[in-house]
Amino acid sequence: MSERSAALLPNEGTDFAAALSAPPVNNLRRIGGEMFAWSDRDPQRSQPLPRGAVLRHLLRQYAGPGRTVLVAGPHSEEVVAALADTGASVSWLLRSLIDAEEAARGNSRITVLAGAAVKLDAAEKFDLVVAADGVDRLNSAEGEQMSAAQLVDRLAEAVQPDGVLLLMHDNRLGVHHTVRLEPGARERLDSDWYNTDDETDTQRPASQEQLTARLAQSGLTVAAAYAAFPEPAAPTVLVGEGLLGEVASPLRPRLGTALSQAFAGAFRGRPVLSDPRRLVNRALRAGAEGTVAPAWLVIARGPGAAPAVEGHELLIGDARGTFAYEVTSAGDQVRTTVLEPLEGPIEREGLRRISEPTAPGADVGYVLEERLEHLAATSDLRRMRVELAQYDAWLRSQAQDGLLTGPVAVAGLADVFVTEDGPALLPTNWEPVESVALETAEIRAVWSFAVQLITSGQPHPWPITSNAVDLTATILGMVGQGIAADSVRAAVELHVRLETAEYGLSLSDQHDRRLQLLAVSPGSASVDVAGFRELTEALWRQRYEASHLLAMMDWTEQIIKSRDLQVSKMDWEVQFYKKTWAGRFLWISRSAYRVIMRDGRKFMRGRRARKAEAQSNAVR
């Protein structure tokens, strides 16, 4: 059996006898076109399933008792369960019969439709149609194939005149595709086994404007649209139309920090062509983040009296979990509002998940890390010293008896927003259960900045610094602070604890991570995202440092050879003087010359002394 044929079979461990003898499910309806030996739920062979706190928050706004909901395509169980919990009548369309049967058995409150989107009953309409997975997995190999544009039209047809369509549409120009480095994906992923015409299909919506126009042709009006980051399947940052491209918005600094953290978590440990944070940062400066967004999330209304759609400027939430909050600007004030609270308190590795994030209310300022990166790149040491001194004074003002409590104890320089009134803390995810020493917290923040300077290959005034610890000592030395080896280890340990709480690292992963962070040097690659570009730059830096070492070794060798040659010449002269008659004669002559010159000088000095004495006596 070929590898592809074997992969088409159900997952390993499936008990076929149990499957055949299982009782029939009453909430499963086969509409035609279902795929039999196929599954979209295997994470090793399929794309991830849509999930996330911000997605669930938006869905709950349009689902409720008495409303009918169609979930089109594979979604995570948490998304479907959240819709069913609102009291709505939920129907779930799945093209895989295996997935449909499993979903029907595990969710008795919903109706599962097994089949292709083309087989949906045109007369059946829904108050809410959810396609957070997009349209790529709505076709079936067992029947007619519809293009992406036709699938968008088909979803629009299923919406009631007063209904709502929530659609996540993948952006083929998105940063997640641009940096993707997955050789053999077409052979590994089930969804890529059949031919698609996405690259040449001129009808497929390729931008948010084209998607809006396509929905308008189908009779729907886009009431709200968002640029979704960092990935379509797990959006943790949604940027509304009021913030997209608005480079003068007071929320831009907060957006940059949120996107950096989102991409660092989503692409952590994944090989990519280049660190996506670089591209997104450049897009933000150009106001083009909507162009490179991984996906667009649109909420479209039918022509009837559809429910009002509330737009948001900036939504931030967890990829896994229930926490989501909104950041808005009103005049000269910035507010943070919790939309989806935590289900319960979370404590890991001595850290507690923050349930009420706060943000500085000022609308004018800058992120401290970005300012320090710019000052380091321009070698403006005077201004850099001023910024660090201001940060040091602010951090010390937050401490009591040399200890820090709350989120400031684990906040990095990227979490500090400097306003006209001084530094303030941006929304963070964790805070320590017990207090942290002021020295440890400050060293960890500066050390993290030093690691970023080194591994990102950005210019700074200390390119030959041996490692991150030395660079940290140099930076803290600008404000009169010294560090010890034990303090650095305590700071790294705090950083590993923070990463363990955020990403769930195992004991072996923690050990490896600790060694990796302590070994950061000018030739080290990125410690967060394994970008091929960053690896190449790190390799170049290693070769550059090695070339300098080789040149210094060659220079030292030349100096040693020159000195050896001079010593050899002197030794030859000594041997010549000692062993040959001519040499002995010269040796005796030189010795006699030295004696004559020595005695002659003594005689002349004595004669001058006697003459001077005689003149002195004559004067008397």
* Token pair 């299923």 in the structure block, residue: 158
* Token pair 């709502």 in the structure block, residue: 164
d(CA 382, CA 360): 27
Please return the burial class of 412, using the count of CB atoms within 10 Å of its CB with bins 0-12, 13-18 and 19+: buried
568: left (phi over 0), alpha (psi -120 to 50) or beta: alpha
pLDDT digits (tens, 9 = 90+) for 265-294: 889 888 888 889 989 989 998 989 999 999
Contact, 300 vs 215, CB < 8 A?
Answer: yes
φ, ψ at 495 (rounded to 5°): -65, -40
Nearest residue to 520 via CA among 596, 574, 469, 591: 469
Cis peptide before 303 (omega within 30 of 0): no
What is each CA distance from 455 to 419, 463, 468, 494, 608, in whole angstroms?
Answer: 29, 11, 9, 20, 76
**Secondary structure of the chain: what % helix, strand, coil (to 5)?**
45, 15, 40
d(CA 465, CA 475): 11
pLDDT of residue 10: 42
pLDDT of residue 199: 65
pLDDT of residue 196: 55
Residue type, 302: G
Nearest residue to 528 via CA among 539, 517, 541, 518: 517
Contact, 117 vs 138, CB < 8 A?
Answer: yes
Contact, 505 vs 499, CB < 8 A?
Answer: yes
d(CA 479, CA 178): 41
Please, how many CA atoms are within 13 Å of residue 361, restricted to the half-sphere of its CB? 4
pLDDT of residue 197: 52
d(CA 222, CA 527): 41
d(CA 294, CA 229): 6
Residue type, 442: E
Contact, 114 vs 38, CB < 8 A?
Answer: no
Residue type, 225: A
d(CA 69, CA 341): 24
Contact, 41 vs 50, CB < 8 A?
Answer: no
pLDDT of residue 128: 94
List the structure tokens of 110: 């919903």
pLDDT digits (tens, 9 = 90+) for 420-466: 888 988 888 888 999 999 999 999 999 999 998 888 877 888 876 66
Which residues lie below 8 Å from residue 409, measured CB to CB, with a gap of 6+?
Answer: 431, 432, 435, 436, 441
Report the first-to-last Cα separation within the chain, whole angstroms: 130
pLDDT of residue 93: 95
Burial code (b: 16+ CB inside 10 Å, e: under 16) for 198-232 equals eeeeeebbbebeebbebbeebebebbbbbbbbbbb
What is each CA distance from 354 to 341, 344, 401, 418, in whole angstroms?
Answer: 10, 11, 24, 22
d(CA 368, CA 416): 6
* Token pair 């280049």 in the structure block, residue: 274
Residue ranges, the chain, pLDDT below 70: 1-24, 184-200, 305-309, 331-332, 359, 361-363, 464-466, 577, 620
What is each CA distance from 265 to 275, 276, 304, 399, 547, in whole angstroms?
Answer: 12, 11, 41, 29, 35
Residue type, 221: T
